[in-house]
Amino acid sequence: MSEPTPTSLTCGVDVGGTKILAGVVDEKGAILEQVRVTSPAADASAITSAIVDLVRELDERHDIEAVGVGAAGYVDSSRSTVMFAPNIAWRDVDLRSPIEQATGLPAVIENDANAAAWGEFVHGAAGEVDSALMVTVGTGVGGGIVLDGALQRGAFGVAAEIGHLRVVPGGLLCGCGNHGCLESYASGSALVRYAREAASAGQAPGLVERAGGSVEDITGPLVTEAARAGDAAGVAAFAELGHWLGEGIASLVAVLDPAMIVLGGGVSEAGDLLLDPVRAAFRAQLTGRGHRPEAELRLATLGNQAGLIGAADLARHR
């Protein structure tokens, strides 16, 4: 009787501004175990130490062969250095070398949205197609591009910064320092701004009541909850966000021509509240509409684990 084929296990690590999540992932995308800690976002060396500690902890219980890290920042073309991160203290930090030295495992560093896009392509919503665009909508807007089965990183490793596509010349100031970026109009932060503006104008009494009478206490989850209950101001906030996001996606599709667009990130958990207005704006603005195949728009299926799963798979095929 032949011996069973051993399962290939890699460790995926998703590093964000608030948490670091690590997990052991098999070749089918199943997470066998995961651990997490609060992210020491203001201390680059502490982040590296936290990653190493999590990997070592998991390696004690599993036969891990490689590590993939999804980092919320600009990762260089060699997949080793985080050149810049808006919400984490990374400025030209070599992340790969100290992880490899401390764990004895080969490592791959990738942008977190790219890792999530790859996760959805290999094991999630986009598994049926060869080319897909993923758009993540959370506090900001991110994304990843897979064309002909390959993750597109660009010449310098920083492709697919979808949130910084300019949609309004001279528009709102973005956290990146430019004006009029998609992120300023189609993110979770924008959703809250739309709701608070309506509340300040006396047009959202239901939201204000839910927030205990304080406009400043209106949050994204509160807006989502209200919209699901049919609150007009909450629904309108999602409609505004969805309009801008759909227009941005139409512009990206004109360039990339993917077979599918996958919407992920925390805001996408609102489901059709977001998807319906995005679809409407996308179809209204799609170049050549009615005379070309239309890419399918669907929600991500891996949730907050997409980045971890994608990073682990990238490590497996490094």
Of residues 1 and 15, which shows the higher confidence score? Answer: 15
Euclidean distance between CA atoms 190 and 192, whole angstroms: 5
Of residues 282 and 139, which shows the higher confidence score? Answer: 282
> What CATH topology corresponds to 128-300?
Nucleotidyltransferase; domain 5 (3.30.420)
For residue range 258-269, what is the model confidence (pLDDT) as tens digits?
Answer: 999 999 988 999
Q: Does 112 have pLDDT greater than 70?
A: yes
Q: Which residues contact 291 (CB under 8 A, 6 or more apart)?
A: none
Q: Does 244 have pLDDT greater than 60?
A: yes
Contact 238, 204 (CB under 8 A): no
Measured in whole angstroms, how far is the alpha carbon of residue 80 from the centre of its chain?
20
Nearest to 299 by CA among 283, 273, 288: 273
Q: Does 159 have pLDDT greater than 90?
A: yes
Q: What is the pLDDT of residue 1?
A: 40
Q: Residue ranges of the domains in the chain?
A: 9-119+305-316, 128-300
Whole-number mean pLDDT of the chain? Answer: 94
For residue range 21-42, what is the model confidence (pLDDT) as tens digits?
Answer: 999 999 999 999 999 999 998 9
Task: Please give the share of the chain, as a percent, with pLDDT higher than 90.
Answer: 87
Euclidean distance between CA atoms 130 and 57, whole angstroms: 36
Euclidean distance between CA atoms 261 and 275, whole angstroms: 11
- Do the domains 128-300 and 9-119+305-316 match in fold? yes
Across the range 272-281, mean pLDDT stands at 96
Among the residues of the chain, which ranges form H helices? 44-59, 96-103, 112-123, 183-186, 188-200, 205-210, 220-228, 232-256, 272-285, 306-316
Architecture (CATH level 2) of domain 9-119+305-316: 2-Layer Sandwich (3.30)
Q: What is the pLDDT of residue 3?
A: 45
Whole-structure pTM value = 0.90
Euclidean distance between CA atoms 195 and 295, whole angstroms: 30
Q: What is the pLDDT of residue 214?
A: 96
Euclidean distance between CA atoms 269 and 280, whole angstroms: 18
For residue range 44-87, what is the model confidence (pLDDT) as tens digits?
Answer: 999 999 999 999 999 999 999 999 999 988 999 999 999 998 77
Q: Which residues contact 240 (CB under 8 A, 6 or more apart)?
A: 190, 194
Euclidean distance between CA atoms 306 and 186, whole angstroms: 21
For residue range 174-211, what is the model confidence (pLDDT) as tens digits?
Answer: 988 899 999 999 999 999 999 999 999 999 999 999 99
Q: What is the pLDDT of residue 318?
A: 85
Structure tokens of 20?
């670091």
Across the range 239-252, mean pLDDT stands at 97
Q: What is the DSSP code (8-state) at residue 215? A: G
Contact 110, 121 (CB under 8 A): no
Q: What is the pLDDT of residue 139?
A: 85
